[in-house]
């Protein structure tokens, strides 16, 4: 009986350690865990960064035709920035750092569901 109890305790401890390791690896992402990726790389190879937490920089522009804010590069490549409209307006035409979850689809194109958008200067 004592040996069975000892094995049960070891098994419970092992499961606890495995669960803790899994949670530490997969949870609690922060801006420091975000991967720095250029707008160019996100534009030309979106499948390589799908659903990845990224940080990118560029000039924030508002385009009236699709009615969206974009972070763009000097060569004209851009990615939609999904964030609070009121927070984006004062940053228009400034160089910004965008942190968020990257995605793409056929209807929208490439976009970042931003967690933060801040001027770099």
- Digitized pLDDT (tens) for each residue of the chain, 121 residues in all: 888 888 888 888 888 887 777 666 655 544 458 899 999 999 999 999 999 999 999 999 998 777 789 999 888 899 999 999 999 999 999 999 999 999 998 888 999 999 999 999 7
d(CA 71, CA 67): 13
**Alpha-carbon dihedral of residues 24, 30, 33, 38, nearest 10 degrees?**
150
Element (H, E) at 65: none
Kindly state the DSSP code that residue 33 receives in the 8-state scheme: G
**Domain-by-domain residue ranges, the chain?**
31-119
Q: Distance between CA 89 and CA 77 in Å, rounded?
A: 20
What is the pLDDT at residue 12? 83
- pLDDT, residue 31, reads 45
Q: Are 49 and 101 in contact (CB under 8 A)?
A: no
- Considering the domain delimited by 31-119, tell me its CATH architecture: Beta Barrel (2.40)
pLDDT on residue 5: 85
């Amino acid at each position: 009986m004592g040996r069975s109890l000892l094995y049960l305790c070891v098994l419970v401890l092992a499961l606890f350690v495995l669960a803790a390791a899994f949670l530490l690896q997969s949870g609690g992402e922060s801006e420091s865990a975000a991967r720095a990726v250029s707008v160019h790389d996100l534009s030309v190879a979106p499948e390589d960064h799908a659903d990845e937490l990224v940080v990118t920089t560029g000039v924030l522009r508002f385009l009236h035709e699709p009615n969206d804010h974009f972070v763009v590069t000097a060569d004209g490549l851009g990615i939609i920035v999904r964030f609070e409209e009121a927070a984006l307006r004062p940053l228009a035409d400034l160089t910004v750092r965008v942190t968020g979850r990257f995605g793409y689809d056929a209807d929208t194109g490439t976009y970042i569901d931003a967690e933060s958008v801040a001027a770099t200067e």
